[in-house]
Structures are given as C-alpha cells and as structure tokens.
C-alpha cells in the first residue's frame, strides 16, 4: 500500500520526536510491505521565522493532498512571553484546524500495567481506566470575536456555537460509544452558560437515534473532580473546545506522563495525528524528550486513517515491550538507566 503522509515537525522537541516516529513507521512499512512517501512542511515558530506565517499556504496544500498528517508540536517561549506579539505559533494550529475542517479531537487516556505506579493517583483509583474525550475543535471561545474596549481596560472573548457544530461532534461521540461500552457523557456548564444549554438540548434530541447508548450529562467542574477520584467510571466523553482543552490535559497525567498519550484530529478532509504534549522548549536539542506519544499517534494513524490494524498493533506491542523492559527516557526511568530520545526510537524500530 502507498501511504502519502505530510510531516509537520513544528517547534521545540517536535522535530526530535517526529524523527523517532518516522523510524518506527519506516520499519513497519518494511515489515508489512508498504511504501511511505513523507512530505515535510513548515508550521509554527519555524514557519514564522521562514516566511512570517505560522501556517503557510504551501503547508496547507501539502496537508490537503496527503492521506494523513503526522504532527509534532507548536510553541516558542519568545512568543509566550510577549503578550503584544501580533503573530503567534498557536495561530497556525487554529488556522490549520479551521482550514482542514478538523472539528473533532480524539484524546484517549489509558494506563500501562508496567507504569501504573508512576501515576500521581493511587493504583486503586486508576486501574482499568480506558476513556476517550471527543473535544470540539473549530468553534467556541477560541474562534469567537475577541478584542479590547475602554482604551484597552476591558477585554472580551465571545463563545459561540451552532446546533450543527454540536450535532456533528455528538454524532462521532455516539458512534464511538457504540463500538465501546455504549456509555456517553456530555460535559457542559448548562446551569450557567447558554452555549452549554444548546449543547445539552442538542444531544438530548439525538438520544433516540442511538437507543443502545446510555447518556449522562455532567457539569464540567464535576467532571474535573471525578477524573481525579474515579477516572475508570468514564468511557466516551464529548465536550466543547475550552472545556476539552483543560480536561484532556488533566486526564493525560493519569497514565503517569504526558509523553505517553496520543491524539487524532479528524473532520472533513485530511486527519491529523499528534502527541498531546507541547513543544517543551527546555528540552529542545537535548535528546531527552519522550517520543512514545508521537509513536502511538502514528499507531492511531495506521489504524484510523489507513485501516491497517496489524501495523498499529505492532507499534503498540513494541511500545509496551519497551515500557516493560525499561527502554524509556528520563521522565519514566526513575532510578534506572534513562535512554536518549534517539535510542528509544532506534530500539523500537529494531524490535518492529
């Protein structure tokens, strides 16, 4: 099979972890007789430095013409520390989501038996956790009108949702729930926010189309608590953009490291696969970043974008083997030997 994949390394540790994912994907291609055509493209701070635009038109064309996009990370301290910056790397991410129609972010959270004691939560609270967030990505407060008035003394950000935006995200949530334990939780703040009331009434109206799915409705603050208390009580959760941004980062540490969790952003055109961690600028160039989230994102890509389940399982199995045998970076090594980012990638590719 010929696979055309756009490669967006991005900023910070992005290029380093992407390099390891490419090694593993190439090993899978050899093992299963596939041909991968990688097309690199600029985005984020690297793109701003090169052409003044965080998501250039050329990059967009490469993404549109690809079968899938494998993405590293975006962000740079020089923009984080400058509130007056007119162009920011993160604007490229928002623009990419909008232009590619990536309206649903799929964020799984699960535990690894060999790492369960690395979690900040007690073993008995997290054993068996296997949940998935579907976060709406192209609406809400991140894309609403924003600005200043009163000579800059007052700021505003508008949160806007349409029923159609809620329906298309909820549809994916119901469909995913049907393939799992048939439980769906809609996360909102319907006791306060009008947009949340629209979310709740829209999802309620869809329940009859999926009679086998048990639907619950919970306020976002309650879910934030229960993710710490009983994360294994959840299965599929759907929510709006801002709530999803915060809750998925909270959920990610359940596994013991943000460097372990993959994600996918799906929608109308090409799907994008990326680790959930950021650009981690402090580790840039040090060869210490954990590449496993990016490699597991590649596994999601093989399974979801190409329907290649054997290939995806091969990656997941070798990642589990690396965790059991302690072939891990410093964030997971504890008192044992810490391997370099590149060494982990080499070991995984060899074992594939």
| 280: annotated active-site residue | no
> 249 labelled as ligand-binding?
yes
DSSP single-letter state for residue 322:
H
Closest CA to 91 of 75, 77, 106, 105: 75
> 82 labelled as ligand-binding?
no
Torsion sign over Cα 57, 167, 241, 265? negative
The active-site residue, picked from 67, 130, 249, 287, is: 249
Tell me how far apart the 2 most distant CA atoms of the chain are, in Å. Answer: 63
The active-site residue, picked from 161, 189, 331, 339, is: 189
The four Cα atoms 239, 200, 237, 11 give a dihedral, to 10 degrees, of -10
For residue 75 the two structure tokens come to 């962000």
The active-site residue, picked from 67, 245, 287, 304, is: 245
| 189: annotated active-site residue | yes
> 149 labelled as ligand-binding?
no
φ, ψ for residue 212, nearest 5 deg: -80, -15
Q: Is the separation of the CB atoms in 58 and 335 below 8 Å?
A: no
Q: Is the separation of the CB atoms in 245 and 278 below 8 Å?
A: no
The active-site residue, picked from 57, 221, 337, 350, is: 221
- From CA 117, how far away is CA 192, in angstroms rounded? 38
| 249: annotated active-site residue | yes
The active-site residue, picked from 11, 23, 55, 142, is: 142
> 107 labelled as ligand-binding?
yes
> 135 labelled as ligand-binding?
yes
For residue 143 the two structure tokens come to 């894309």
> 287 labelled as ligand-binding?
no
| 221: annotated active-site residue | yes
| 11: annotated active-site residue | no
Geometric angle at alpha carbon 305, from 2 and 7, rounded to 5°: 70
The binding site for Mg(2+) consists of 221, 245, 249
The binding site consists of 97, 107, 135, 221, 245, 249
- Catalytically active residues are 142, 189, 221, 245, 249
The binding site for substrate consists of 97, 107, 135, 221
């Amino acid at each position: 099979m010929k696979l055309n994949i756009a490669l967006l390394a991005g900023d910070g540790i992005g290029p380093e972890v992407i390099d390891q994912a490419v090694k593993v994907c190439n090993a899978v291609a050899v093992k299963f007789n596939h041909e991968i055509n990688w097309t690199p493209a600029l985005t984020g701070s690297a793109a701003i430095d090169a052409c003044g635009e965080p998501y250039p038109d050329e990059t967009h064309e490469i993404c549109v013409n690809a079968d899938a996009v494998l993405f590293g990370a975006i962000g740079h301290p020089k923009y984080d520390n400058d509130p007056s910056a007119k162009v920011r790397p993160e604007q490229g991410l928002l623009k990419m989501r909008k232009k590619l129609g990536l309206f649903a972010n799929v964020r799984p959270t699960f535990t690894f038996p060999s790492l369960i004691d690395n979690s900040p939560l007690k073993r008995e609270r997290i054993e068996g956790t296997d949940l998935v967030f579907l976060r709406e990505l192209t609406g809400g407060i991140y894309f609403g009108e924003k600005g200043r008035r009163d000579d800059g003394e007052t700021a505003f950000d508008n949160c806007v949702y349409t029923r159609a935006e809620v329906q298309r995200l909820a549809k994916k949530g119901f469909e995913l729930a049907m393939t799992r334990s048939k439980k769906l939780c809609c996360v909102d703040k319907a006791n306060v926010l009008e947009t949340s009331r629209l979310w709740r009434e829209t999802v309620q109206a869809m329940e009859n189309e999926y009679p086998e799915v048990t639907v619950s409705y919970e306020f976002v603050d309650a879910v934030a608590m229960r993710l710490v208390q009983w994360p294994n009580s959840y299965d599929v959760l759907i929510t709006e953009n801002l709530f999803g941004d915060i809750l998925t980062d909270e959920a990610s540490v359940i596994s013991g490291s943000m460097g372990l969790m993959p994600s996918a952003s799906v929608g109308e055109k090409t799907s994008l696969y990326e680790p959930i961690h950021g650009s981690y600028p402090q580790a840039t160039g040090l060869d210490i970043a954990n590449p496993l989230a990016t490699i597991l994102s590649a596994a999601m890509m093989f399974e979801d974008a190409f329907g290649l389940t054997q290939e995806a399982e091969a990656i997941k199995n070798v990642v589990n083997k690396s965790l059991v045998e302690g072939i891990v970076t410093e964030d997971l090594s504890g008192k044992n030997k810490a391997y370099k980012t590149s060494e982990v990638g080499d070991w995984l590719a060899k074992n594939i």
